[in-house]
Amino acid sequence: MELEEASQSTVDPEVRAYVYSLVSALGGTAADEDGRYVLGDDALACLKDLKKWLKLHDEKANRLDVARCLAEANLVKGDLLEILSAWPEAATEDKIKSKVALACLELLVPLTWPIEKNDIQMTVNHHRHVPYLQLAQTSYKRAILEHESATVLRTTVRIGLPSIALPMGERSSRDEGIIKLLLYFFRNVAMISPPQNLPNEGKDGEVSRSATVEAFHRQDVLALLLTISSNMGEDFNTQDTVIMEVLFHLLKGVDVEKLFMDKKQFKSRNDDDLKSLLAQEAGMHRSYAKNAPTRHNRFGTMIWVKRDDAGKVSTVSGQDVLKDSQQALSKMDQTKKWNKPKQRVKNEEPAYDRFDMPVPLTESASTHLRAFVEEFLDSGFNPLFNHIRKAIEREAERVLEAQQQQFFYLVSWFLEAERVRRRRKKEAKKRRRDKKLEETFEADSFALIATVLNQESFILLNRFMQDRLDLKSWREVQAGMRCFTQILLIVQDMAESPLEEDQEIAENIQNRIFYEETTHDRIIAILRGYKDQGFGYLDSCTELSHVFLRILERYSRENVDLQVRSRRRARKSKKATVKQRQQTDGDDEDEASEMEDVAEAERVSRERKFDFTRFSTKFMTQACIDTFVSFTKYYTDLDTEQLKRAHRFFYRVAFKQDLSVMLFRLDIIALFNKMIKGPEGLDSAGPMFREWDELVRQLVKKMIKKLEQRPELAVELLFSKINSTTYYLEYGYDKQTTSSK
């Protein structure tokens, strides 16, 4: 009795009674009608009333009571979906039935609407209902995707079709509303994912991304998305952001490489994956077995470790330490109980905005999705993203804060997809050419993605990255970084295109990107500013620096007289102008007024020749190195590409810039030692192991030489180096410039 009352008291009983009576008045399955669903007499009015309840009770009073009641009353699965599925395709013309269907959609959208948890408006009432509702939404999604008898999504498309068919000018605001409602419904369905912190019913597969993609494909939602996005700007206008949201929630976290693999590769890749995983596991067992005890655990060995000449000893127990002294020392360290207190990392971002969590797809889902992506690139990419870019630029009202980040993420995703697609095509062509000896190799131009490679986009991207960097909004900075990385990579591909036109354009773009010194500085600032932003951020920022440095290096080698526009503090240039005046002394008032201008404007910009070595030295600061070190700390989880990235960076530091002293720090050395010599080191059969081994060996060689030459390094090994002493430690004498002053 009491328990029942408690569950009743979650919601005001009177509200519950009203809502329940409405739900039961809606209709039901009838025994004498072979279990078909029969609408109630006033079904339409009931639906309208329910909508009013949601609006006037839940929204106005900022509660979730009605939503909760509806979830408990099983409205979606028991009624709404039944009504929709009972709307036969032949009856599309039936006015009343289509009205009922629309009313159902109008209820489905608010019920599946994502519940934003981080609101300041959260009340006790919300805290009570949200977990329940999140689970309920997952079950809604399951029911929508997997209805037994009907295709719910296709039915809802049919609701919108009459409005979509009208030309844009003739649509009433009601028609626009219906289209929007429809798209929001798809967005919600794509977005709902099982809540992470709540127990689920172990049926994740039915609401997974693969299931969503499959259902969207089967029920023609993907086709609708394609149609709308390729006609963006002509027949559609304000729907761009919603379409983008649907795309975002469909594509976030999907691995482009894997998506574009054909069946054979996919299979063999999976087989290889299993093989390599098994090999890895075997390796782990082997390294464990090497140190594992050979006798039972009560065998009771104990040894002394002699410490120094004074005869001090420490004791270590366990027979594994007998074998080698290294083991004994590491065991001594491991048995210490105290840990340095660490700052706890906050992770309060909502999961549905995260795009750096990899999502697996089944084979058939990835086939469908790939077909969609290719078609989208061919037809929808330019119109849609151009349209959204313009909307963002003029700060249109419909563009929400989070959507800018989605925009940049999607641009980066599609650029990568285009790159991978071109590569695959090329490979396929090559293979075919080998067989049939086709001599004409026809290259496609990059026009399909041209709209994101114009000057306006770069300005927008730069401004976005700078803004978000200033605001410390890291997730968004990360989206910007990924986008910029992909742009650089695609421009690089373009420069290698056989078409002369493409090369020219690429040249042009590179010129524009590398002309602004603020861009260079920003990349350094991002790399330097890493602190606990998480692995995804770390991955993106190291990748960006890596790609940027490499492309810029090559470009500046080819264009020796590259100019950059640098901005400096007014003070400095003021000094310079004063100096200049003292020298020339003859110049007239022009300069005086110019000086005033300079004083007014805080910064002044001027051109100067670009010097790559000087620029890359800026990457060799301690902060940047620390970022790469914390990246390398994840070495067991890094793939070949990522390990290569870190390797190249350290190689650059130590041997290209002659700043190996910066790496002579004990924690770095210990990390490198552990990577090569274990325990839990790099896989010695892995493709990057030899390169790393060589790097570490060279580095240690250098360090030991240095230690013998300059014993004071023994102390400096403990610390980050001071600027003034780095030079001395490296070369053995002070810098000329500092000593002359």
Partner 1 sequence: KENGAGLGIDEEIKVTKKRAPVPKLDENRLLSPAGIPKLRRIAKERLKFKGKGHEYSDMARLLNMYQLWLDELYPRAKFADGLAIIEKLGHTKRMQTMRREWINEGKPQDSLDSLGEG
Q: Can you give the binding site for partner 1, defined by CB under 8 A?
A: 307-308, 314, 325-326, 329, 332-334, 336, 338-340, 665-667, 669-670, 673, 676-677, 696-697, 700-701, 704, 707-708, 710-712, 714-720, 722, 724-725, 728-729, 733-734, 739-740
In this structure, the strands spanning 37-39 and 27-29 are: antiparallel
Closer to partner 1 by Cβ: residue 3 or 310: 310
Pull the structure tokens for residue 28: 């039901």
Pull the structure tokens for residue 66: 């009605």
DSSP-based three-state secondary structure for 27: strand
Phi, psi of 188 (to 5 degrees): -60, -45
Least Cα distance to 722 among 657, 672, 661, 670 occurs for: 661
The radius of gyration of the chain from alpha carbons, rounded to an integer in Å, stands at 32
Closer to partner 1 by Cβ: residue 199 or 711: 711
Closer to partner 1 by Cβ: residue 143 or 316: 316
Closer to partner 1 by Cβ: residue 404 or 660: 660
Dihedral sign for Cα 164, 169, 171, 176, please.
positive
Least Cα distance to 379 among 349, 354, 353, 414 occurs for: 414
The strand ranges marked E within 32-128 are 37-39
DSSP 8-state assignment for residue 516:
B
Closer to partner 1 by Cβ: residue 221 or 328: 328
- Minimum Å gap between C-beta 51 and partner 1 is 59
DSSP 8-state assignment for residue 38:
E
DSSP-based three-state secondary structure for 175: helix
- Minimum Å gap between C-beta 362 and partner 1 is 42
CA distance 75 to 522: 53
- Minimum Å gap between C-beta 679 and partner 1 is 13
- Minimum Å gap between C-beta 201 and partner 1 is 43
CA distance 542 to 73: 51
- Minimum Å gap between C-beta 285 and partner 1 is 24
Residue 66 C-alpha from the chain's centroid: 36
Closer to partner 1 by Cβ: residue 556 or 627: 627
Closer to partner 1 by Cβ: residue 295 or 336: 336
- Minimum Å gap between C-beta 286 and partner 1 is 19
Closer to partner 1 by Cβ: residue 390 or 710: 710
The strand ranges marked E within 539-693 are 563-569, 603-609
- Minimum Å gap between C-beta 733 and partner 1 is 6
- Minimum Å gap between C-beta 677 and partner 1 is 6
- Minimum Å gap between C-beta 724 and partner 1 is 7
CA distance 160 to 500: 46
Closer to partner 1 by Cβ: residue 167 or 341: 341
Partners of 29 in the β-ladder: 37
Residue type at position 593: S
Q: What percent helix, strand, coil does the chain show, rounded to 5?
A: 70, 5, 25
